[in-house]
Amino acid sequence: MHYTSWTRRTEHGADLLVEDGPDVLAHFSHDGVNGTALVQGETWTSVHDPEKGASLTRPSGETYELIGQLTKDHEFQASLRGTPLRLINEQRNDWIIEDASGTKIAQFSGGNNGVRRAILEFESDHEGDLETDQTIALSWFVRLLLEHRLDKSSWAILGTVLLFAIVGIIAILFIV
């Protein structure tokens, strides 16, 4: 597969697609920090903490982890069932994913509405480097990371607008 993407989130969750679909790799749902993923009939447990990272656990006990502060860090360590990866923020909204040798294997971006679909695009010569379960976990980590970055930006914008509104009201009161 060349890339993965996501459907819109509903009250029931969101589907992870092979490219633009219609093939569904997994269905993710969550209730706050805990959730589940239905992957080929198997239910995985998902947990995330914006301050520490995220993890997925299969019924067999196999785990996938992302370590780092989701809203602040510019580099994350991932372990996908023992396969180490680094997610590196190159600039603003653009990210690359490197394997243990430092080779770029994939990329993703939060720019140009990138958060809505959270596309994880693999380099053409590295499309088969990860197994399907690892790709599913990495795609979920990418979506979480982008969503938390968007939340941080949204709060900053709202705070700025509120500050300008207060200054405007005070200015009007002094003019009148």
Domains of the chain, residue spans: 3-175
Query: What is the value of pTM for the model shown?
Result: 0.83
The residues, any chain, with a CB within 8 Å of residue 50's CB and separated by 6 or more, are 69, 70, 71, 148
Burial label, 37 (beta-carbon count in 10 A; 0-12, 13-18, 19+): buried
From CA 24, how far away is CA 44, in angstroms rounded? 15
- Tens digit of each residue's pLDDT, the chain (176 residues): 799 999 988 888 999 999 999 999 999 997 667 899 999 999 999 999 999 999 999 999 999 999 999 999 999 999 999 999 999 999 888 999 999 999 999 999 988 666 678 999 999 988 889 999 999 999 999 999 999 875 444 444 444 555 556 666 777 777 87
At residue 156, the pLDDT reads 46
